[in-house]
Structure formats: structure tokens, C-alpha cells
Amino acid sequence: MRGKLNLRYVGPYEIVEKLNLITYRLDLPIDLEHVHNAFYISQLRKCAPDTDHAIIIGPIEITEDLTYEERPVQILDHRIKQLRNKQIHLVKILWANHTSLEATWETEEDMRTKCSHLFEVNLHFI
């Protein structure tokens, strides 16, 4: 459901130690205690000190294999994509732990099957 062009970075977090030429240790918050705090330099990006660009993350439930479940939260919009011989109904989905800028268009049929509770709240999209 998630595209490869979505944001991949959270933070900013302070570098507390340079372990070697290519590895740094970060000061991660307690919410990320299950994540190893040493990162290769290729995984890091320089952050401008502008607080408007900081991404605030809420609590994320991370499993033992360091993954988390993407959960749809709300339907933001809907549209119909016209193909040659049929119409596809699409809904714009806001995902937990993501901003509205990262909302994705999904087929209404798939979302009704997987997440029918979203349509009970958003009756005006039926």
C-alpha cells in the first residue's frame, strides 16, 4: 500500500558518538528503544536547524522484527478514475503515523473489504 517515494527519515536526532569513519551513534528517544542506535552514514541526512522541518512522531508499536503495521485512519477524499470501459472508485487514505501529505489513493473496493469501519464514519463518501 505504501509507495517507494514516501518519506523515509524521522528526527532530527543528535549524533552522540562517531564509532568509526562510516558509523555514528544517535541519541534516540525512549519511543525508539527497540531500534539499534548505531547507523551507517548512508542512512543519515543532514538536518537544517529549522524546527518547522522537524517530523514529530507519535508512539509507534514496533514488533520484535522491527516492523510496524500500517493502519488506515481516515478517508480524506474520493474520486473516480475513468478508464476506457469502466470507472474505478478511489479513496484517499490517511495512514496512522503519517501526515496528510503522505496520504495515498487506494481503490474503494479494496478498502471496503479490508477496512469497512472507515466507511461507517464517512457516510458521505458512499
Average pLDDT over residues 37-49: 82
pTM: 0.48
The domains found in the chain, sorted by start residue, are 1-64 (no CATH), 72-125 (2.40.50)
In whole angstroms, what is the distance from residue 104 CA to residue 2 CA? 7
Q: Decide if 65 contacts 52 (C-beta within 8 A).
A: no
Hey, is 66 helix, strand or coil? coil
**Segment 49-79, tens digit of pLDDT:** 666 655 566 666 777 777 777 889 889 999 9
Residue 18 grid coordinates: 562517531
